[in-house]
Amino acid sequence: MIAQDDPLIAADALARFGTGVMQAVGCQPAIAREIAEHLVDADLCGVYSHGVFRLDWYAERAQAGRFAPGAEPHLRRAEGGADLVDGGNGLGMPAFRLATDHVVLRARRDGVAAVGVANVDHTGRLGAFVRQGAEAGCMTLLFGGGSRRDWRQVAPYGGARAVLPTNPYAFGIPAGERGPVVVDFATATASGGKVYAARMAGRPLAEGLIVDRDGRPSINPEDYFNGGALLPMAGPKGYGMALVAELLGEAILGEAMDGMNWIAIGVDLSRFRAPRAYRAAAEACLQELRDCPPAPGFDRVEIPGEREAALREHRLREGIPVPPATLQSLCALGERLGVDARELQASNPLTQRAA
C-alpha cells in the first residue's frame, strides 16, 4: 500500500487538517479533534485502513445523512438493565472512549464488567481502545456486529455471495516491559477499509483477500465494489467468529443502525495476581517468543502491538507516508470544504522545518 517515494507529512499537520474537515462537516471542536487525532494515530501505527484517507468518506457520509456529526455519546441503561453507551448516531470514536473509560471503572470496582455500545457509525481502529484498557490494568475485549443489512461485505465459508459484515474483534492485555499486547483484526481476510484505501491509492490488493462477483480470486479493488466479496479469515474459523459477533450485535443489542452494535468487556487482572509478578511472568513469556529463530522469509518473531508502537515513534519523528493519489484527494476535499490544505501539499514538512 505504501511506496518508498510517497510524500511524508507531519502528524500534527494531518491532525490540524483532519480537525478542520470534521468541524466543517458539523462536529463539535473537541470531537472533531478527537476523531482527527484517532485517524492520524492509525496512520502512525501503519493501519492505513483506518487512517486519514477516511476523512473523504466521512465527509461524504455526513453529507448523505448517514451519521449525525454533532452527536455526543452518553451512558444509559439497556432494556435489561445493563450499561450501554449510546453514540447518538455519531462516529464511534467518542463513544468507544467513553465505553472504555466506564468498563475500566466498573472492572476495578467489580473485577469484571461489560458495557454495550449502540447507535454509532464507523468506529475507527479498535486496537487504540483495547490498548487504553490494558494500560489501565484490565484485559479488554471489543467486538461487534449486527449490520449485515447495510454492510454485506464477506462471503460465509463455502458461500459465493457477500452476506456478513467484517465484524472485527480486538483484545488488549497488560504485558511486559514494552507495554500491552494488542490484537486487532477483522473476521474477514482484511478490513473493508483496506480495499477502500487501495482503491483511493490506485494500487492492487494482495492475493487471497477478495473474489469478484463470480467468485474468482482478484487483486483489483474495483472487483470488490462491483459485486465481489471479502473472504472469511482462516476459512471456517473467521466465519464462526463473525457469526457470533453478528448474533450478539443483533439478537442481544437490537437491530443496528448503519454501523454495528458492540460490547466492551474488561477484566481487572489484579484480582487474580499481583501486577508486578504478572508483568515479570508476561515479559518472560514474550522474550521467549522474541528469541524464537525466525522462519525462512522472516526477520524475527514479533509481538502483536510492538511493531505499531515502534512505527508510531518513528513516524512522529520522520512523518507519515501518504500515497500521492490519497494526498490529492485530501487536498481536493479541503478545497470543497474550505479547509486549508497547504500544509499537506509539501513533501516531508518535518525535514523542511529542520532545514
pLDDT for position 254: 65
pLDDT for position 209: 94
Per-residue pLDDT of the chain (355 residues; tens, 9 = 90+): 677 788 999 999 999 999 999 999 999 999 999 999 999 999 999 999 899 999 999 999 999 999 999 999 999 998 888 999 999 999 999 999 999 999 999 999 999 999 999 999 999 999 999 999 999 999 999 999 988 888 899 999 988 899 999 999 999 999 999 999 999 999 999 888 889 889 988 999 999 999 999 999 999 999 999 999 999 999 999 999 999 999 988 766 766 556 789 999 999 999 999 999 999 999 999 999 999 999 999 999 999 999 999 999 999 999 999 999 999 999 999 999 999 999 887 645 544 444 4
What is 71-188+232-290's CATH topology? Ribosomal Protein S8; Chain: A, domain 1 (3.30.1370)
Give domain limits for the chain: 1-70+320-355, 71-188+232-290
pLDDT for position 255: 60
Residue type, 162: A
Residues 6+ apart with CB under 8 A from 126: 96, 142, 168, 169, 170, 184
Give the CATH architecture of domain 1-70+320-355.
Answer: Orthogonal Bundle (1.10)
Comparing CA positions, the residue from 313, 346, 342, 315 lying closest to residue 11 is: 315
Comparing CA positions, the residue from 210, 234, 194 lying closest to residue 154 is: 210
pTM of the model: 0.90
Cell of 114: 461489560
